[in-house]
Every structure is written in structure tokens, then in C-alpha cells.
């Protein structure tokens, strides 16, 4: 897969969001993405009660606040 090969090219600050109730993405994928990227600043946001489309889940307000803070920093 092209995206897997290109993860090392990512050098900008990186925020990876893991939705705990996601049935579409392997649970280890977010950690793997962080490990494979070349970014110096890497953050993992875990939303344990959110589905794959976490912007529609119960933790969406937390997601919005965390993303806004990440973009400000």
C-alpha cells in the first residue's frame, strides 16, 4: 500500500486519533503509524467510546478541542 511506504516522509507535527469503538481500523494501526512516521512531534489521542467516524460520536467535543489545541501549538 502506498500510504504505508510513505509514512517515513511525514516530518511535520502529527496527531493520530484512535477511536476505541472503531470496527474498520485495526486497533494497533494508530500506534504503528506513529512509530513509522519521521515526525519529531507525535501525539496519540485515544477516544475510547467513539466509533470510526469520531466526529459524530459522543466524544466529538473533546476531539474538536484537542484538534484545535494541537493546531494552535
Q: What tens digit of pLDDT does each residue of 45-67 get?
A: 999 999 999 999 999 999 999 99
User: What gap in Å lies between CA 59 and CA 49, rounded to an integer?
Assistant: 7
Q: What tens digit of pLDDT does each residue of 5-58 get?
A: 899 999 999 999 999 999 999 999 999 999 999 999 999 999 999 999 999 999
Q: What is the number of alpha carbons within 13 Å of residue 17 lying toward its C-beta? A: 21
Report domain extents, the chain. Answer: 2-72
Amino acid at each position: 500500500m502506498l500510504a504505508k511506504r510513505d509514512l517515513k516522509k511525514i516530518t511535520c507535527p502529527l496527531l493520530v486519533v484512535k477511536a476505541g469503538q472503531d470496527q474498520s481500523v485495526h486497533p494497533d494501526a494508530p500506534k504503528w503509524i506513529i512509530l513509522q512516521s519521521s515526525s519529531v512531534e507525535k501525539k496519540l489521542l485515544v477516544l475510547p467510546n467513539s466509533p470510526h467516524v469520531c466526529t459524530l460520536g459522543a466524544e466529538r467535543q473533546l476531539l474538536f478541542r484537542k484538534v484545535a489545541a494541537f493546531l494552535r501549538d
